[in-house]
Amino acid sequence: MSQISLSENSNSDEILPVAKMVHELFSLPVTMRSRNKKGVRLEKGKVVNSDYTGPVLEDALARNCVIHTIPDSGAYKGVPVVVAPVQDSEGKAIAAIGVVDVVCTIDLAAVFGSYPQIVKQVEERKKKF
């Protein structure tokens, strides 16, 4: 039986399946690392760094919360990102995964003008962050 297991000590090879799944699902650049080991950065279907960390990944691990920001350093300097902790069953952050935050860069009203209920739902969620 195959399985994927993540821990605070997971290495790049161990976290790659999860990072790759998110990358393929959203077709966005993805970064991921465990608490104690550097991880991966994926762009355009390829692993571009298998010894990766970034300031927002590290901050999300330290604060154990979702972070929406525009980093002032690192590979995504000046680019909106969202990073979330991966928590164990006790709520401890054991890893973090991030994507480029395209939602904050688009005019939702223009894109979803025909779907006002979607715009309303997204705007309400954005207010929570």
Q: How is residue 10 annotated by DSSP?
A: -
Mean pLDDT to the nearest integer, 85-99: 97
Residue 107 lies in a domain: yes
Residue 5 lies in a domain: no
Distance CA 92, CA 64 (A): 7
Q: What is residue 113's predicted lDDT score, i.e. its pLDDT?
A: 67
Q: Residue 93 belongs to what domain range? A: 12-128
E strands, the chain, are 30-34, 39-43, 46-52, 67-69, 81-87, 93-100
Residue 88 lies in a domain: yes
Distance CA 60, CA 62 (A): 5
Q: Number of structural domains, the chain? A: 1
Two tokens, residue 34: 């465990």
Q: What is residue 107's predicted lDDT score, i.e. its pLDDT?
A: 64
Comparing C-alpha atoms, which of 81, 65, 63 is closest to residue 73?
81
pLDDT at 115 exceeding the cut of 90: no
pLDDT digits (tens, 9 = 90+) for 12-38: 999 999 999 999 999 999 999 999 999
Q: What is residue 111's predicted lDDT score, i.e. its pLDDT?
A: 63
Residue 24 lies in a domain: yes
The pTM for the full model equals 0.81
Q: What CATH number is attached to the domain comprising 91?
A: 3.30.450
